[in-house]
Every structure is written in structure tokens, then in C-alpha cells.
Amino acid sequence: MRRTVLCAAAVPALLILVLTVPGFAQRKAAKSQRPVVALDTTVGLIKVELNPAKAPITVKNFLDYVNSGFYNGTIVHRVDFVIGLGGYTPSMMGKLTKPPIKNESRNGLKNLRGTLAMARHDDPDSATSQFFINLSDNSHLDPAGSGFGYAVFGKVIEGMNVVDKIANVKKGTKGNFSNIPLQTIVVKSAKVVAE
């Protein structure tokens, strides 16, 4: 009987010891500081986890667009080795964006299958709202030498089957767009679901 009482009494002390072990609280905090955004599309739900530790400027920019409702009602406008989103309405009109951001492609994150990266023009610091999901490992999009690549800032953590479903739709040409889904795929909403 006494042994049982001692074991029960020791549990809170062990719990305190575990919680005060160096690094435990930091690892838990680091995990919780990765926001999760749900992209609810007409094909299904995709959840993405962002990495503000590696791409703070890019993540803040993306979350600003998410929280303002910018992505709601935009379409998937490109499907080839990536899925491009975040800039156009179903009528193929480009949305007015905020100023471009600094390129963070040298953050150590690679353009691997399922990662999110910022789309941009030839100017490395020209990314605004458009982003893409890599459908395969695209090392040619990573920085090489003194050059810049495409900044990875997150990854798909749920709904990769939806991403693959989008990748397999029929594609064609609409106006000035090639490799665009012939079936309009809309992002019905984009919202932060965990922080």
C-alpha cells in the first residue's frame, strides 16, 4: 500500500522534471509556432503547415493575404510540374496585390514534392501573392551558386490526395494561359486553423 502511495506522489514530481528538462519546452513551442492554413477547394481540402523560422518574411506575407480573405474565390491557374494558385479570379482577372517581398530562397528548404513556394518573375524579389505546390522534387527551382531560387515556406500536411487529383485534371489553353485546368478549380476559402 505504501509503495502505491509513493508512486502516485512521485508522478507530479516526474511531470515537473520532464517539463523542466532543457529543450523540452522549446521544442513544444517551436512546434506550436508553425501556423496551419486550410485551403478549401472545389476539389477538396488541403492543409499546409508554414515555416516562419526559415521564411519569416514569406510566411508573414502569405498570412496577410490569407487573413485579408484575398485567396477566397481565386483559382488554380497552372498545372504542370507544379500547381499554381493565388492570383486570378474565375474570370481570369488578376487581383491587385501588395508590394513584392524579399526572396528567401536561400533558407535551406528545398522544392520537394508537397512543399509550397512563392511564384515570381525574373526579378528574385518580385513575389507577391502567387504561390505553388510542387508535384515532384524540383531541384531546378532551388538556388544554385550565387543565383536565387523559388522560396519554399511550407508544406502540405493533409490533402496530398487532393493535390494529386488537381494534377490529373484535363488541362488546356484559356486566353493567355496554357496548362490551365479546363475545369475551373476554385479556392473557396483560405484560413488559419492552427497557430
For residue 27, the enclosing domain spans 1-32
**Are 52 and 140 in the same domain?**
yes
pTM, full prediction? 0.83
CB-based contacts of 195, cutoff 8 Å, min separation 6: 32, 33, 35, 36
**Are 135 and 72 in the same domain?**
yes
For residue range 34-84, list pLDDT tens digits in order: 999 999 999 999 999 999 999 999 999 999 999 999 999 999 999 999 999
The total number of structural domains in the chain stands at 2
Proportion of the chain above pLDDT 70, given as a percent: 84
CB-based contacts of 26, cutoff 8 Å, min separation 6: none
SS3 79: strand
pLDDT of residue 32: 52
The one-letter code for the residue type at 35 is: P
**Are 93 and 106 in the same domain?**
yes
If you ran DSSP here, which 8-state letter would residue 86 be given? S
